[in-house]
């Protein structure tokens, strides 16, 4: 059976005219058929472009006219699909994106610099408690360059095996800094500076690549036991293989965060893989708390995070500003890393519910623009501790106001506030009380709770 597959593939591969050449992924049904097919292709003098053993996948240039039913419906083949193109999600030209903001020696001797986006999500309030230690995060991107403000633990190049995973574009280094910048000597600090940072170079110096290289990166993350994967990228077309690979990673407990895309307000769908089930899809906002004009709209957005004029690490050891949903996603990745550092056994559904219940609804936007609302890291950590996420109504359907710091944290945190006939009920400290509730139209949920973090145990590890 496998011999016939190799013969059919060889016929479709041999002497392919340029105008009919299509890069295809062939996924075999089982490991034995895959190995036998690969060996027979080698015996006939052909080496596939790429092979991924754990996915039973080989990638070849095939003649489109020879992709007939005898090959497509062969019992040893699971499916064949086009190896579609993948792109990163920043906006603007490369020159605009890579504008350098070099730190002088004097500035580096000052206190750490916290970018506006990290302040906006209230991440600094959590740092006395955790900075993300013990969480392994893989960044499937253009690679990560050596930088005095980053500590790269390892990585892989899935485009060219054995080659460097250093960033030759700048996008991956910028994304990594938003999560993991150390804040040393007055430099920038990321959301979760103590994570274990891993570079997965699957995109080239133009920020482009093939889905097969992304699949290879996901398989590497599974083997290396990553806790999270950040994917600030999108596909040109649907990919069955990528969906299957992400599902496999999720079954291994890996949390996946992806940018929604930069197609703007007229888009009706968000990009893959952000649109896949259980992938945390991130839209972008600006410093005024508005949805960024470029941010894609569509069903499946989970949450919004800062994504305009984001200052982070760049190639060459400096710092630069970039915009895009690419830049929004790592704010969420860093927040989840902080959560996992404190509670490693959180499931993907637990994390999503906490993010949803703790987010800040942005007025004037529908769910297909903002998801649950603006990320709030401090509130997410608080909800995780108190279990309030299980009690709160879904923030994706009802507005939630920003809460003020109260003098007392009650056992029952959620309450409702009607638009008319408001009444207050006082509960003595350390006591509980039953409160009758009548829910009528025009009701909005408001989250209350204790925001103080100065009593939390400090992380003694320096960034």
Q: Which pLDDT belongs to residue 105?
A: 44
| 424-458 per-position pLDDT tens digit | 445 454 454 444 443 333 323 323 333 332 323 33
Predicted confidence at residue 45, as pLDDT, reads 81
The mean pLDDT of 141-153, rounded to a whole number, is 98
31: number of Cβ within 10 Å = 11
CB 125 within 8 A of CB 378: yes
pLDDT (tens digit per residue) in 47-80? 899 999 999 999 988 877 776 667 778 888 999 9
pTM of this structure: 0.80
State how far the Cα of 263 lies from the Cα of 385, in Å rounded to an integer: 37
Determine the pLDDT at residue 348: 93
User: pLDDT tens for residues 226-235?
Assistant: 999 999 999 9
Domains and CATH numbers, the chain: 2-83 (3.30.70.80), 88-390 (3.40.50.200)
* Whether pLDDT at 249 is above 50: yes
State CA 68 to chain mean position distance: 38
- Which of the 8 DSSP states describes residue 202? -
Residue 198 phi, psi dihedral angles, 5° rounding: -125, 135
Least confident of 88-92, 93-97, 107-111, 236-240: 93-97
By the 10 Å C-beta count (0-12 exposed, 13-18 middle, 19+ buried), 11 is classed as: middle
Active site residues: 141, 171, 326
Residue 237 has pLDDT above 70, yes or no: yes
pLDDT beyond 70 at 261: yes
């Amino acid at each position: 059976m496998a011999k016939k597959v190799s013969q059919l593939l060889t016929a479709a591969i041999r002497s392919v005219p340029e105008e009919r050449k299509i890069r295809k992924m062939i996924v075999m049904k089982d490991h034995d058929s895959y190995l036998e097919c690969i060996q027979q292709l080698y015996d006939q003098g052909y080496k596939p472009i790429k092979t991924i053993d754990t996915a039973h996948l080989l990638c070849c240039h095939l003649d489109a006219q020879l992709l007939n039913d005898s090959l497509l419906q062969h019992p040893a083949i699971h499916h064949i699909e086009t190896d579609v193109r993948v792109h990163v999600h920043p906006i603007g030209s490369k020159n605009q994106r890579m504008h350098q903001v070099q730190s002088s020696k004097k500035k580096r001797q000052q206190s750490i610099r916290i970018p506006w986006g990290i302040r906006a999500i209230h991440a600094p309030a959590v740092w006395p408690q955790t900075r993300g230690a013990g969480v392994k995060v893989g960044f499937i991107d253009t690679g990560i360059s050596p930088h005095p403000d980053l500590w790269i633990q390892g990585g892989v190049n899935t485009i060219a095996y054995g080659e460097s995973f250093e960033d030759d574009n700048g996008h991956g280094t910028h994304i990594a800094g938003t999560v993991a910048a150390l804040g040393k000597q007055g430099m920038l600090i990321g959301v979760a500076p103590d994570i274990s940072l891993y570079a997965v170079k699957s995109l080239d110096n133009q920020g482009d690549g093939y889905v097969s290289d992304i699949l290879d990166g996901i398989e590497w993350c599974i083997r290396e036991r990553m806790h999270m994967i950040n994917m600030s990228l999108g596909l040109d077309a649907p990919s069955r293989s990528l969906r299957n690979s992400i599902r496999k990673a999720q079954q291994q407990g890996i949390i996946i965060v992806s940018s929604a895309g930069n197609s703007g307000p007229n888009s009706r769908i968000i990009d893959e893989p952000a649109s896949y089930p259980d992938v945390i899809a991130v839209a972008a906002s600006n410093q005024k708390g508005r949805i960024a004009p470029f941010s894609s709209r569509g069903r499946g957005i989970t949450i919004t995070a800062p994504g305009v004029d984001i200052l982070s690490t760049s190639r060459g050891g400096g710092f630069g500003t970039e915009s895009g949903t690419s830049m929004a996603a790592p704010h969420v990745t860093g927040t989840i890393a902080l959560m996992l550092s404190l509670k490693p056994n959180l499931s993907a559904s637990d994390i999503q519910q906490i993010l949803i219940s703790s987010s800040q609804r942005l007025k004037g936007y529908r769910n297909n623009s903002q998801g649950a609302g603006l990320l709030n890291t401090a509130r997410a950590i608080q909800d995780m501790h108190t279990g309030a996420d299980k009690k709160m109504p879904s923030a994706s359907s009802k507005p939630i106001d920003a809460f003020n710091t109260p003098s007392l944290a009650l056992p029952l945190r959620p309450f409702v506030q009607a638009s008319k006939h408001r009444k207050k009920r006082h509960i003595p400290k350390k006591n509980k009380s039953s409160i009758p509730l009548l829910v009528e139209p025009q009701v909005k949920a408001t989250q209350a709770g204790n925001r103080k973090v100065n009593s939390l145990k400090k992380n003694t590890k320096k960034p």
